[in-house]
Amino acid sequence: MKRNVISMLAATSMVATLALTGCGGSKEAATTAAPAETKAAETTAAVTEAASVTEAAKEVKETEAAAGNAGGLINVGFAQVGHESDWRTASTKSCQDVFSEANGYNLSFVDCDNDSAAQLEAVRSFIEQDVDYIIIDPIVSTGWDTVLTECEDAAIPVIVIDRTIDDSDKYTAWVGSDFTKEGKAAGEWLKAYADKKGISEINALVISGTTGASAQLGRSKGFQEIADKYGFKILDEQTGDFTEDGGQQVMESYCKSYAGKFNVVVCQNDNEAFGAMTAMDNAGISYGPNGDVVLISFDSCTAGLEDVKAEKITADFECNPLAAPFVEQVIQQLQKGETPDKEVYMEEHWFALPDAIVDFSVDGEAQTMTEVTDAVIEAQY
Ligand code: GYE
């Protein structure tokens, strides 16, 4: 609860900062000049498009209001990925809390149960309902252009949260995380930690998230890039679908195939790590800061951080699920006819116990790690 408030305040000031500094673009400035220019051009085009969608939507809304049809509530449709993880539960709760009737919204929520076809159907049902705004957390990053064109034709602004859409820019705004940076952070931390502990050779097993989700693609890419940089060996990478069961199954098979050959396990979310720990317990393999295997996780939900505190997970890389307050800001900006930033990145932290807090940089930028204490766990989601 406390964290919610802090995040909402942070959200407010972050959006304000982004609006003032145009920070949505400055992120791109960190990459090479050519892609940044291309991206900037794309962003300008998309913003122009977004503005015309906003205009059209405004006209529709004005007509509805004149007809006494608005009922005072803003209709929002949310096509959620599913319910596969603690992270997802926190994301859903955040949206339901923010888009409540008390706050002036009527929320149509669809849990797409990790089924991409069902998610497209959900979006089409929102178009049929003629909602005012559509929020999509895309299960996979491709296959979106047709349905987004349909949203555009219906003059319904689309706000994408969390995972990205990579094959269409027909959405008004995206609010989410830099998954590649998360993967790189895990890799750079591992190098610094291994150096501190005198671990000279890294033999890693990766349990990845849902294949084709941008969260999976980014974390895999980021970690692989650092593995290549330092010569870590990645023995295998198989999907655990971001679930505890999936993590356990993959780890059971890894324990058989790679017995005695690995010293690092990277789980792309906490729930997979919970499953992997069960499998390693059953196989008699020790892990965590005092064990034989360095265990890395992503998300840093409450239960994940409890396992860091319990010396089971060695380091946990946060992915912040509380995007809804940012989305509300975007909707309020659109309501006023303003143009929101096309991209907003969530603020995230890297967590460990003191002995695993080491200095490292990502793309030349020094990172700060957060010690897991009871107060930190209490404030998490
Ligand atoms: O890491 C995982 C969830 O898309 C970032 O999806 C999200 C991921 C998150 O199921 O726990």
- CA 154 to CA 151: how far, in whole Å? 5
Would you say the CB of residue 242 lies under 6 angstroms from ligand 1? yes
Residue 102, both tokens: 């008390």
Is residue 109 within a helix (H) or strand (E), and if so which, with residue range?
strand 105-111
pLDDT < 70: residue spans in the chain: 1-71
- CA 217 to CA 51: how far, in whole Å? 30
Which CA distances in Å does 217 have to 119, 342, 345? 19, 21, 17
Q: What share of the chain is helix, strand, coil (3-state, %, to 5)?
A: 50, 20, 30
Would you say the CB of residue 181 lies under 6 angstroms from ligand 1? no
- CA 205 to CA 207: how far, in whole Å? 7
- pTM for this entry: 0.84
Q: Which of 209, 213, 212 is nearest to 237 (CA)?
A: 209
Tell how far the Cα of 366 is from the centroid of ligand 1, in angstroms: 25
**DSSP per residue over 150-214, as a string?**
HHHHTT--EEEEESPP-S---SSEEEE--HHHHHHHHHHHHHHHHHHHT----EEEEEE-STT-H
What pLDDT does residue 59 have? 52
**Are 313 and 291 in contact, with CB atoms under 8 Å apart?**
no
What pLDDT does residue 7 have? 37
Residue 326, both tokens: 């940012």
Matching residue, tokens 């990579």: 166
Residue 4, both tokens: 């919610």
What pLDDT does residue 76 have? 98
Residue 9 CB contacts under 8 Å (≥ 6 apart), including other chains: none
Residue with the nearest Cα to atom 7 of ligand 1? 215
Tell how far the Cα of 377 is from the centroid of ligand 1, in angstroms: 19
- Alpha helix segments (H runs only) across 30-144: 33-66, 86-98, 116-129
What pLDDT does residue 168 have? 98
Residue 176, both tokens: 């989410």
Atom number in ligand 1 closest to CA 214: 4
Q: Which of 56, 38, 57, 35 is nearest to 46 (CA)?
A: 38
What pLDDT does residue 150 have? 98
Atom number in ligand 1 closest to CA 298: 1
Tell how far the Cα of 165 is from the centroid of ligand 1, in angstroms: 15
Tell how far the Cα of 113 is from the centroid of ligand 1, in angstroms: 13
